[in-house]
Amino acid sequence: MSILTGKKILLGVSGSIAAYKAADLASKLTQADARVDVILTGAAKHFVSPLTFQSLTGRKAYTDADLWRSEAHVLHVGLGHSADLLVIAPCTANTLAKLAHGQSNDLLSITALAAQCPVMVAPAMDVGMYEHPATQENVRILRERGIYVAGPAEGRMASGLVGRGRMLEPAELLGHIRVVLGRATGALAGRKVVVTAGGTQEAIDPVRFITNRSSGRQGYAVAQAALDAGADVTLISTPTALAYPVGANVISVRSAQEMLEAVLQESAGADALIMAAAVADFRPRNVAGNKLKKRDGIPQIQLEAAPDILASVASLNSGASRPQFVIGFAAESRDLLANAAEKMASKKLDMIVANDISATDAGFDVAQNRVTLLTPDGNVEKLSLRSKFAVAEAIIVKLVGLWE
């Protein structure tokens, strides 16, 4: 399950060489269990055929020829009315211009004018065309009208020129589609959620640090689930091997101290703070200014307490500076529920996600997790082993419940 499951996506493809990437996007959406209807403009058909899309989506791909068939008078209205989202990718300068000025002389532009759903466009054109004042003005008009403009990116174009005008890659477009769908229908639309992820790095010298086994996966999954629910998400992350969730405002930090500062800054006035990061409890008391050399012998590293971020947040007065809801994680290897409940009380949390790290099939560094969600009213919800994304979705559902 994801926000794409069962969603009706209308994919408009206009005439750019990037049309071949639209086939990949149609495939990715279909694999995510969305229902994808495709409309190709006349120019798009020169680059890629309707059959390509039909084969990938298992559904008819429409062209202008369908405008003149017996059901034509209801087709564009039907497509535009039943969709959850109209995505035009690639969107050429010509299609942008038509959308901006309400022109409707082919199936795609008529459908766009009749559409009742949110609209997202992914511009793709040569750099000069994108930078042209006419195109810039059209983009501005569309944005002002609430149309979501994804990209374009900088890079090398088919023409050999380098600049802004490349269509975003399908994986990135998929992330933007999730953002638009989330904002349109999500339970957290309009809410600001701050998520921390990864294991902090506590420096010993300029090249060495102490860290832990956290991969960041659970925190990134929470950020994605919050985006799917429509939230404005700030992700405060240590370096990880993971791709940033599209649409999140990402702040990179390393140490517990840096994370503390970012959390205090970002969570002031936020609706929720979810501390999924594995923050160091101890850090080297002295950080060597230069690399420690072997020839100087084995160093003695003295540790001191690192700042406890949740405790600092708990000590803030409720009101403008404290997030409305604070959720913590408890990584425990014994007495899971008792220790988690104790942590929830001492850190004044609104929910704690208790994580049994003694199990080998769940927790640190693996794709799945088995957690129990506890709230201060004594409610205990034990979740079966599931993907970290499914755990994240359950956390977000429970967070939404806190407002009810």
**Tokens 């425990």 map to which residue?**
332
- The DSSP secondary-structure symbol of 278 reads B
Nearest-CA neighbor of 347 among 314, 319, 378?
314
* CA distances in angstroms from 207 to 89, 203, 255, 266, 301, listed in the order given: 44, 8, 14, 29, 15
Closest distance of CB 168 from ligand CTP, Å: 33
Q: How far apart are CA 42 and CA 45, in angstroms?
A: 6
Span of 36-44, 47-55, 119-127, 322-330 interacting with ligand CTP by CB under 6 A: 322-330
Which pairs with CB-CB distance under 8 Å and at least 24 residues apart come from 386-390? 387/221, 388/217, 388/218, 388/221, 389/2, 389/221, 389/224, 389/225, 390/1
Contacts of 289 (CB under 8 A, 6+ apart): 205, 206
Are 170 and 18 within 8 A, CB to CB? no
Q: Which is catalytic among the residues 94, 105, 138, 212?
A: 212
Omega cis (within 30) before 123:
no
Backbone angles phi, psi at 386, to 5 degrees: -160, 175
Minimal CB distance residue for ligand CTP? 309
Closest distance of CB 118 from ligand CTP, Å: 35
125 vs 336, beta carbon nearer ligand CTP:
336
Are 232 and 191 within 8 A, CB to CB? yes
**Which residue of 182, 216, 328, 363 would you call a contact of ligand CTP, by CB under 6 A?**
328
Number of residues near ligand CTP (by CB under 6 A) = 14
Question: Is 44 an interacting residue with respect to ligand CTP (CB under 6 A)?
Answer: no
Residues between 331 and 360 that touch ligand CTP (CB under 6 A): 331, 343
Closest distance of CB 329 from ligand CTP, Å: 4
Are 252 and 181 within 8 A, CB to CB? no
**Which residue of 329, 363, 393, 399 would you call a contact of ligand CTP, by CB under 6 A?**
329
Q: How crowded is the C-beta side of 32, counted as CA atoms within 13 Å? A: 21
Closest distance of CB 224 from ligand CTP, Å: 18
Residues between 250 and 309 that touch ligand CTP (CB under 6 A): 256, 275, 277, 279, 281, 306, 308-309
Structure tokens at 344: 């929830």
Closest distance of CB 228 from ligand CTP, Å: 22
Using CA atoms of 161, 164, 167, 169 in order, give the dihedral in degrees to the nearest 10.
100
5 vs 333, beta carbon nearer ligand CTP:
333
Span of 71-79, 145-153, 287-295, 324-332 interacting with ligand CTP by CB under 6 A: 324-332
Q: How far apart are CA 3 and CA 177, in angstroms?
A: 10
How many other CB atoms are there within 10 angstroms of residue 97's CB atom? 15
Closest distance of CB 251 from ligand CTP, Å: 15
32 vs 331, beta carbon nearer ligand CTP:
331
35 vs 322, beta carbon nearer ligand CTP:
322
Residues between 218 and 257 that touch ligand CTP (CB under 6 A): 256
Q: How far apart are CA 400 and CA 404, in angstroms?
A: 7
Q: How far apart are CA 41 and CA 270, in angstroms?
A: 44
Q: Report the Cα 144 to chain-centroid distance in Å.
A: 23
Q: How far apart are CA 271 and CA 188, in angstroms?
A: 9
Closest distance of CB 19 from ligand CTP, Å: 45
Residues between 84 and 103 that touch ligand CTP (CB under 6 A): none
Question: Is 178 an interacting residue with respect to ligand CTP (CB under 6 A)?
Answer: no
3 vs 309, beta carbon nearer ligand CTP:
309
Q: How far apart are CA 64 and CA 105, in angstroms?
A: 10
Closest distance of CB 398 from ligand CTP, Å: 15
277 vs 396, beta carbon nearer ligand CTP:
277
Q: How far apart are CA 202 and CA 125, in angstroms?
A: 46
Q: Is 94 a catalytic residue?
A: no
272 vs 277, beta carbon nearer ligand CTP:
277
109 vs 196, beta carbon nearer ligand CTP:
196
Question: Which residues lie near ligand CTP (CB under 6 A)?
Answer: 256, 275, 277, 279, 281, 306, 308-310, 328-331, 343
Residues involved in catalysis: 212
